[in-house]
C-alpha cells in the first residue's frame, strides 16, 4: 500500500504582531503583519509582499499554519497599498534588477527582517514574479 503524504504537525503557539511599520531608505513606511512562534530563538522567515492586502482571504490561516510549524511569516503590503505609505505604481516596483529591488523596498524589507531577533540568517522568497 502506498504511503500517504501528511502535513507536519503544529508544535508552537502563535504570536501575531499586526501593522508593524517597516522603514524604507526614502522614509516611506511599509506595513507588515508578523506571525511567529511564541518561543525564544531564531526561526526561518517567509516574506510575502502583496499588492492585494496583507489581511486578505486566508492570510490569518496561512500565518498560523507557518508559525505553528516553526516559521516566521511576514505579510507585507507593498508601497502605496493597504496600510503602507507611498504611491503604488503597478509593475514598476516588481522588476528583478538590483537597483529596482532597492527602490521598491524589497531589499529594505529583507534588511528589516534580518534585524529582528526572531530571524534566521538565510533569505528565502516565495514569488509569483
For position 128, what pLDDT does the model report? 47
For position 61, what pLDDT does the model report? 94
Task: Kindly report the average pLDDT of the chain as a whole number.
Answer: 78
pLDDT over 80 at 17, yes or no? yes
Kindly list the domain boundaries of the chain, sorted by start residue.
14-125
pLDDT over 60 at 98, yes or no? no
Report the distance separating Cα 3 and Cα 60, nearest Å. Answer: 30
Cα three-residue angle 56-62-66, rounded to 5 degrees? 150
Neighbours of 8 (CB within 10 A): 9
pTM (predicted TM-score): 0.73
3.20.20.20, 3.40.50.1820, 3.90.190.10, 3.30.365.10: CATH of 14-125: 3.40.50.1820
| pLDDT confidence band for 102 (50 / 70 / 90) | very low
| pLDDT confidence band for 34 (50 / 70 / 90) | very high
Amino acid at each position: 500500500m502506498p504511503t500517504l503524504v501528511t502535513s507536519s504537525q503544529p508544535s508552537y503557539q502563535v504570536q501575531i504582531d499586526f501593522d508593524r511599520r517597516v522603514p524604507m531608505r526614502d522614509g516611506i513606511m511599509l506595513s507588515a503583519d508578523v506571525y511567529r512562534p511564541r518561543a525564544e530563538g531564531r526561526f526561518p522567515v517567509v516574506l510575502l509582499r502583496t499588492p492585494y492586502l496583507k489581511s486578505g482571504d486566508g492570510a490569518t490561516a496561512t500565518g498560523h499554519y507557518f508559525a505553528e510549524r516553526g516559521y516566521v511569516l511576514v505579510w507585507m503590503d507593498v508601497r502605496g497599498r493597504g496600510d503602507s505609505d507611498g504611491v503604488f505604481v503597478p509593475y514598476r516596483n516588481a522588476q528583478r534588477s538590483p537597483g529596482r529591488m532597492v527602490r521598491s523596498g524589497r531589499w529594505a524589507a529583507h534588511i528589516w527582517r534580518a534585524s529582528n531577533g526572531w530571524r534566521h540568517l538565510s533569505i528565502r522568497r516565495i514569488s509569483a514574479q
